[in-house]
Amino acid sequence: MSVATPRLALLGLLTALAFNAHADEVQVAVAANFTAPIQAIAKDFEADTGHKLVAAYGATGQFYTQIKNGAPFEVFLAADDTTPAKLESEGDTVKGSRFTYAVGTLALWSAKDGYVDAKGEVLKANQYQHLSIANPKAAPYGLAATQVLDKLKLTEATKAKIVEGQNITQAYQFVSTGNAELGFVALSQIFKDGKVTSGSAWIVPANLHDPIKQDAVILNKGKDSAAAKALAQYLKGPKAAAIIKSYGYEL
């Protein structure tokens, strides 16, 4: 047996230990619409930096309340820009750490092929029984959905048909399980690499609602975390950008 073999093994072990000594976990509050992209980004982030991303998913408004009540999140990826800005103004974030990581797109979707036409006329036809949206008070995509209905003068006509999810994930689930014929979802939930992955959808024109600018921010609990800083930097890099765009977001 060669003497070099155990030496190489020892060297590999020492290298791994040195790498892991600088690795850390980062606790991240992630807006539900960004679930699939952050899961893909997390794999590359861990491989490239050694840091581990531990995510919780939910509605932006609910995360605000949890953060104010002392939740252990170090980074917040919101579904809007106003909630991180509010936390910043209230002194709950690391100064200068806020940035826009994605601009979201709203879609009207049905799990049935051919049910939703390319111009969204199915919405005006009003032949459906249930229309799913996320809670507009907690989820920015839900608020955008109500703005679309208002712009199209369909608020009153659809009021009795609305099925409201706590967040955009639940709004999507109502449609995917058939409890609602169609609903407003985040494009990222049904889109990958340039195409809708299932069912049928209308990509809602951006002029029908306020821009869905999604901001990230390092929270005070992450001010001394190397992993939190690394994640914020990673989200601005080319690998993350490619993944984010592949799910239908703008940058």
CB 220 within 8 A of CB 92: yes
Residue 141 lies in a domain: yes
Tell me what pLDDT residue 120 has. Answer: 95
Calpha distance 42→240 (Å, rounded): 9
Asked if 87 and 126 sit in the same domain, the reply is: no
Tell me what pLDDT residue 227 has. Answer: 98
Structural domains counted in the chain: 2
Backbone angles phi, psi at 132, to 5 degrees: -90, 135
Asked if 118 and 91 sit in the same domain, the reply is: no
Asked if 195 and 228 sit in the same domain, the reply is: no
The CATH number given to whatever domain includes residue 178 is 3.40.190.10
Calpha distance 224→51 (Å, rounded): 14
List the domain range (segments joined by +) for residue 126: 106-203
Asked if 173 and 155 sit in the same domain, the reply is: yes
Tell me what pLDDT residue 14 has. Answer: 42
User: Is 248 in a helix, a strand, or coil?
Assistant: coil
CB 26 within 8 A of CB 53: yes
Tell me what pLDDT residue 22 has. Answer: 57
Residue ranges of the chain with pLDDT lower than 50? 1-6, 8-21
Asked if 157 and 193 sit in the same domain, the reply is: yes
Asked if 15 and 82 sit in the same domain, the reply is: yes
Residue 251 lies in a domain: no
Its pTM stands at: 0.84
